[in-house]
């Protein structure tokens, strides 16, 4: 027996829609009424049997387990109703016949809003009250789409079926097809007195307050899903979901790198040389930054567990503090004398105020060499 997936030319994980499209394509090509190929009839039977099996979830599951399929192709279109053949040729055919009218009540669409939060809110979570502009249940008709005291009436054209039939000419001769009723648009009922407030939609647009819980550890681009908080569907259908997209405002001191926070701390030259403990105000209180003696500009001090909380795990990121050593300006005479004395003691400056040869830069040394000094 041939592999049914190979027969239809689809992969083993193909969706039901992919299987249906593959069958339509092959049926149009291999049907005995549209080709003179003597082998087309057997090929069409094989394709029909493959589709009959793979389009049925239970039969497909049994086939995937290696079970045998009852019966065979049996003849032209075995195992298929007239609507399956019409569906292959016309994409609609008898589909809809017996399916009944469509429901006016539909699920509402999902909605998306953007919420700007501060760094502290993003790092540690919180609550935010927002105004959501969306579709809500019509307060007048309560989703019935009709004026109070009235109700939908059966369509006189389709008699509640939601569809009408017509005869068209095709390769198979005259064929009866089914289409949505143009009067009731497939619903099977009409609204003799539509609700004036919602114009027969069963819903209206309104602004409503909503309290949003912001999880700790969110970042710009994070989306929070709130089930059933989106738009109410037509005719009072169930609401969709609301997605809240987080946008984090810039902070004047701290910057975000994942769950780590980054900042720059200015350290006086003397503190960098001698070492010091400098207080730093963080998002959750003051901490001490220990600057080791001889610290250099650009060094980083890591404060563990002082960053943002992890969104989907326990713990927090770190706070990375970059040291910026500052040089004093506007020295008074005493301060300047002390610095000169220090420089002399370290052998960094000659009495005349020039840098000693040991502390000259590379270019200064080269310049002195070429000038004969």
Please, what is the Cα angle at 284 between 278 and 290, to 5 degrees?
20
Contacts of 98 (CB under 8 A, 6+ apart): none
pLDDT digits (tens, 9 = 90+) for 268-310: 999 999 999 999 999 999 999 999 999 999 999 999 999 999 9
Strand partners, 209: 131
Mean pLDDT, all residues of the chain: 84
Quick one: pLDDT at residue 327?
Answer: 93
Q: Is 135 helix (H, G, I), strand (E, B) or coil?
A: strand
Contacts of 178 (CB under 8 A, 6+ apart): 92, 93, 94, 95, 96, 97, 163, 164, 165
Which residue did the predictor score with more confidence, 21 or 97?
Answer: 21
Positive/negative CA dihedral, 249, 250, 251, 257: positive
Mean pLDDT of 311-319: 95
Would you state the structure tokens that stand for residue 283, as one six-digit string? 């998002």
- The burial class, CB within 10 Å (0-12 / 13-18 / 19+), for 79 is buried
Quick one: pLDDT at residue 209?
Answer: 95
Please give the distance of CA 57 from its chain centroid, rounded to a whole number. 30
Quick one: pLDDT at residue 97?
Answer: 43
Confidence band of 350 (pLDDT split at 50, 70, 90): low
Quick one: pLDDT at residue 34?
Answer: 66
Confidence band of 69 (pLDDT split at 50, 70, 90): very low
pLDDT digits (tens, 9 = 90+) for 72-119: 433 333 344 444 455 545 444 443 444 689 999 999 999 999 999 999
Rounded to 10 degrees, the C-alpha dihedral 21/25/28/31 comes to -100
Q: How far is 336 from 342, CA to CA, in rounded Å? A: 10
Q: Which domains, and CATH codes, for the chain?
A: 4-90 (1.10.287.110), 255-326 (2.60.260.20), 338-370 (no CATH)
Q: How far is 343 from 362, CA to CA, in rounded Å? A: 20
Quick one: pLDDT at residue 74?
Answer: 37
pLDDT above 70 (res 177): yes
Contacts of 316 (CB under 8 A, 6+ apart): 259, 305, 306, 307, 308, 309, 310
Confidence band of 351 (pLDDT split at 50, 70, 90): low
Q: Is 128 helix (H, G, I), strand (E, B) or coil?
A: strand
pLDDT above 90 (res 315): yes
Mean pLDDT of 349-359: 52
Mean pLDDT of 200-213: 95
Confidence band of 59 (pLDDT split at 50, 70, 90): confident
pLDDT above 50 (res 334): yes
Mean pLDDT of 32-37: 68
Max mean pLDDT range (23-37, 41-55, 90-104, 327-341): 327-341
Q: In angstroms, what CA-CA distances link 215 with 67, 105, 224?
A: 50, 34, 9
Mean pLDDT of 130-146: 95
Mean pLDDT of 59-73: 62
């Amino acid at each position: 027996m041939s592999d049914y997936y190979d027969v239809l030319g689809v992969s083993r994980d193909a969706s039901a829609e992919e299987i249906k499209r593959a069958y339509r394509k092959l049926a149009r090509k291999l049907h005995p009424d549209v080709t003179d190929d003597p082998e087309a009839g057997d090929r069409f039977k094989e394709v029909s049997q493959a589709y009959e099996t793979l389009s049925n979830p239970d039969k497909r599951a049994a086939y995937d387990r290696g079970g045998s399929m009852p019966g065979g192709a049996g003849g032209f279109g075995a195992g298929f109703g007239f609507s399956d053949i019409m569906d292959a040729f016309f994409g609609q055919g008898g589909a809809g016949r017996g399916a009944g009218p469509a429901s006016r009540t539909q699920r509402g669409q999902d909605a998306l809003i953007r919420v700007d939060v501060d760094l502290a809110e993003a790092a540690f979570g919180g609550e935010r009250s927002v105004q959501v502009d969306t579709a809500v249940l019509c307060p007048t008709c309560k989703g019935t789409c009709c004026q109070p005291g009235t109700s939908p009436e059966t369509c006189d054209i389709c008699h509640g079926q939601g569809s009408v039939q017509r005869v068209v000419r095709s390769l198979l001769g005259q064929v009866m097809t089914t289409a949505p009723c143009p009067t009731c648009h497939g619903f099977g009922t009409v609204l003799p007195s539509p609700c004036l407030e919602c114009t027969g939609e069963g819903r209206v647009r309104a602004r409503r307050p909503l309290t949003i819980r912001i999880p700790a550890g969110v970042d710009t681009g994070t989306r929070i899903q709130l089930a059933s908080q989106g738009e109410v569907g037509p005719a009072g259908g169930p609401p969709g979901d609301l997605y809240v997209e987080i946008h984090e405002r810039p902070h004047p001191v701290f910057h975000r790198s994942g769950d780590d926070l980054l900042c720059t701390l200015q350290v006086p030259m003397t503190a960098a040389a001698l070492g010091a403990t400098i207080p730093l105000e963080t998002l959750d209180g003051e901490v001490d930054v220990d600057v080791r003696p001889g610290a250099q500009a650009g060094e980083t001090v890591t404060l563990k567990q002082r960053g943002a909380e992890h969104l989907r795990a326990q713990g927090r990121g770190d706070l990375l503090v970059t040291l910026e050593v500052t040089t004093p300006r506007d020295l008074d005479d005493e301060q300047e004398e002390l610095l000169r004395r220090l420089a002399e003691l370290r052998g960094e400056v000659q009495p005349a105020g020039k840098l000693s040869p040991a502390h000259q830069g590379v270019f200064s040394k080269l310049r002195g060499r070429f000038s004969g000094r």
